[in-house]
Amino acid sequence: MSSEWVVLVDDENREIGVARKDGVHHATTPLHRAFSLFLFDADRRTLLQRRATGKRTFPGVWSNACCGHPAPGETVVEAALRRCKEELGVEPAELWIAIPDYRYRAEAGGVVENEICPVVVGRLDGETLRPDGLEVAATRWIDWHELLAELPGDYSPWCVGEASRLAADPRFRAWLVTARTPAAT
């Protein structure tokens, strides 16, 4: 992990530097770029993961399929593909950025998350998950509407906020029905 870098940004998401991932999450975490990925199958279920108990931030908490940080020079979609392969051992399809401007700050156990975190959505059909045990304690598929009914529950704060924003987004709702990437606007 110490070789992973995160992009530090200002309030307008302009790059102001980089920092090692293992040194950036603490009580005064600087604002940095991240992403969050929600994956859906052909039955419109979404994949959840329980974060490994050894994770520094929000260990053992249920969350969306995958989260991470774009490396310097890496796009959000490229980062989502990379981390999905690393964490879950699969390569999703139809990735698109549903919420480009999601931002949150959350704290647990003295560690703060402070991120500009675009929400990426995609499909995963027919692939066998191969989770990395250092990242993922468990996975499960759940109907999207059942997930919304369970929130906030034992879910990460970003998952709760992002799912609520997705549920209110007409482009996402249209995509969920058709499972096709929406036309660019």
Q: What is the pLDDT of residue 125?
A: 85
Per CATH, the architecture of 5-126+134-178 is what? Answer: Alpha-Beta Complex (3.90)
For 32-57, the pLDDT digits (tens) are 999 999 999 999 999 999 999 999 88
User: Which class for 42: exposed (0-12), middle (13-18), buried (19 or more C-beta within 10 A)?
Assistant: exposed
Is residue 118 within 8 Å of 112, Cβ to Cβ?
A: no
Q: Identify the residue whose tokens are 């790059």.
A: 15
The residues assigned a catalytic role are 67, 115
User: Which class for 85: exposed (0-12), middle (13-18), buried (19 or more C-beta within 10 A)?
Assistant: middle
pTM of the model: 0.93
pLDDT confidence bin for 126, thresholds 50/70/90: confident
Q: What is the mean pLDDT of the chain?
A: 93
Helices 170-178 and 157-168 cross at an angle (nearest 10°) of: 80
Mean pLDDT throughout 92-116?
Answer: 95
